Structure 1
């Protein structure tokens, strides 16, 4: 019984295929491109250049379009090397920005047709990709990709399509991407532009029914081209993990298959296992009886496979988000630890500061402690250095005494340089002695001293301090003292 069911199913499938063939239009297949004019936008590098080389091998007159003239010139030389000997093939370039206004594109393409001949095949290969999350994309980059990827395809096609319909002959190729079949993280703006290309193609397919003009929509995978290298510079980690699962193809491999699919009149040109799965699941335009049969029989199973694949992509995105959150939290903690020291750090800082203050106080106490007279260098007061643990070195000293006639008064000058462990002090004294006037010492510190002072018998309470520390008094002698430490605290009496 089971065998009969299987046989009946096979019979129904065969009948279904025969019926489909009756309704399908026969596709025009081209074996070569001898003396046909092929125009390729974006033909100076990558997939476009590879297609141009393949077209030259098949005998076509090739025109490549781009913006970089030096690169175009070099590419023309490389493509010419693939021409057949003595074939009379014309290989040329045209400098054109396909994102400009339609009039400029129309003028350029009409001139090419006048010089070389009617355009038989138009391959829209100009494009670019800037990756990134949509909410972080620059508006200028979004517009740039829409202009180049969509309008760079729509404008040249708009020019050539009426002419091909009029001649009832021609081939058009749209180069999209697998990101136009399934939304992928990081390809939001780029994918939208390529989805627009796919949407345009799906509609033009139906408009070409009943004509000998064919349109092929290509979904190339990641391809090793200069454009792909630039794409990698902006591609998020998640996008690399997702798109990298399909592998990397060469431009020659992709260009060769794409051109052959277009010459066979295929509606879709896909690459690799993932490309075939995606096209069966998401491409709705009828391409062949085999395509329709595969979709009928395997759509549910393929959908289950794609669900598992998409869930694995979601896992990559979630892990990437968790990693970013953790990195952001660690960065905040690092910044907080730098800007706000911990309580342990503050405690240690306070201990060090307190220890320094105690050391300064001890040393200062040794400097100002009273002592006996300082030998021949004393001024009749106490010796400031006798109790200091390490006696300071007197680098230099000098004194002069000028007496007036009859010993009515005298002027004495005294200067001395003293080096201590904490500072270098320069002291200069000027003293005028008479029955009613005294001028006190004046100090000038080249490096801020911890303590500088001189002592004399206490003066009368009526004292006025001048700019340089000169004191005037009715008493024969005065006492003037200044104190300065390294923290900027100073006082005098």
Structure 2
């Protein structure tokens, strides 16, 4: 029986992915920082999907702490067997201009979004390679495709995931392990409202008033991509164009961004 481990599995995209795999009959392991939200997530999945709670393991860990995430993932594997599919959905975002963002805020986003994913992969990678099978989905962001005003730390962490995925894909594929990376747009999650409250007006103008995608829609696209063994997963026409033709489009987009930022600042004077 397939064993799926999901970091950031207590809410948002991670929880929505948990629902999908639980409905398929997989064994699910959810990892997040807060035990109470993990328990609530397990209850929600068992209630909606009508499955036994024994099919879902939960483990509390901060992905930014390698010892914690390794111990949590190994405990899940001890219960349900080796990890067949790993989804690294844990992430945080704290927008703000670089000169107003503390080093601690910057470092925390890098540690959670990038290093936390690396730690999770490292915990299962050797076993996957030894077995000659396994799938890894790294959750980046549309902000991993183009730099956005006020998101220097977040963009850096998500760009790093893209590079990591590309390099690891080349190493892992000959050993039977498939690595993928996805770039979700704004998604309606518990974290999203807090992000919007901190989003600088310059970023709001650049990013527009596009309605965020639902976590369920994003999750369905991610799982479909895992099924098909796709490497990179884009959402919507704009992000697909950035992913495929970014080097051509970015000079024009940056020109437009600069004009939009100047207009916001002239209004605020």
Match of 2:208 among 224, 244, 248: 244
Against the structure 1 CA distance between its residues 55 and 89, is the aligned structure 2 distance closer, same or farther, given a 3 Å change threshold? farther
Matched, 1:315 2:259: yes
Matched, 1:91 2:35: no
Q: Give the total of aligned pairs.
A: 269
Matched, 1:42 2:16: no
- Match in the other structure for 1:454: none
Matched, 1:139 2:103: yes
The alpha carbon displacement at 1:130 in A equals 0.6
- Match in the other structure for 2:184: 220
| Larger of the two Rg values belongs to structure | 1
Instruction: Decide whether the 8 Å contact of 1:180 with 1:198 is kept in 2.
Output: yes
Following the alignment from structure 1 to structure 2, what is the Cα–Cα distance between the partners of residues 315 and 82?
48
Which consecutive unaligned segments of at least 5 residues does structure 1 have? 1-34, 283-298, 327-493
Match of 2:78 among 114, 119, 122: 114
Which consecutive unaligned segments of at least 5 residues does structure 2 have? none
- Match in the other structure for 1:74: 40
Determine helix, strand or coil for the equivalent of 1:208. helix
Instruction: Decide whether the 8 Å contact of 2:57 with 2:76 is kept in 1.
Output: no
Which piece of structure 1 moves more, 189-198 or 102-111?
102-111
- Match in the other structure for 1:254: 218
Determine helix, strand or coil for the equivalent of 2:182. strand
> Under a length normalisation based on structure 1, what TM-score does the superposition of the two structures give?
0.52
Deviation per CA, 1:380-417: give whole Å up to 9, x if none.
xxxxxxxxxxxxxxxxxxxxxxxxxxxxxxxxxxxxxx
> RMSD of aligned C-alpha atoms?
1.8
Following the alignment from structure 2 to structure 1, what is the Cα–Cα distance between the partners of residues 173 and 226?
16
Determine helix, strand or coil for the equivalent of 2:174. coil
Instruction: Decide whether the 8 Å contact of 2:31 with 2:72 is kept in 1.
Output: no
Matched, 1:57 2:23: yes
Deviation per CA, 1:169-226: give whole Å up to 9, x if none.
1110100111111111111111011111111111101112323211110100001111
Instruction: Decide whether the 8 Å contact of 1:246 with 1:274 is kept in 2.
Output: no
Within-5 A mapping of 1:256-275: 256-275=220-239
Instruction: Decide whether the 8 Å contact of 1:59 with 1:84 is kept in 2.
Output: no
Following the alignment from structure 2 to structure 1, what is the Cα–Cα distance between the partners of residues 188 and 26?
25
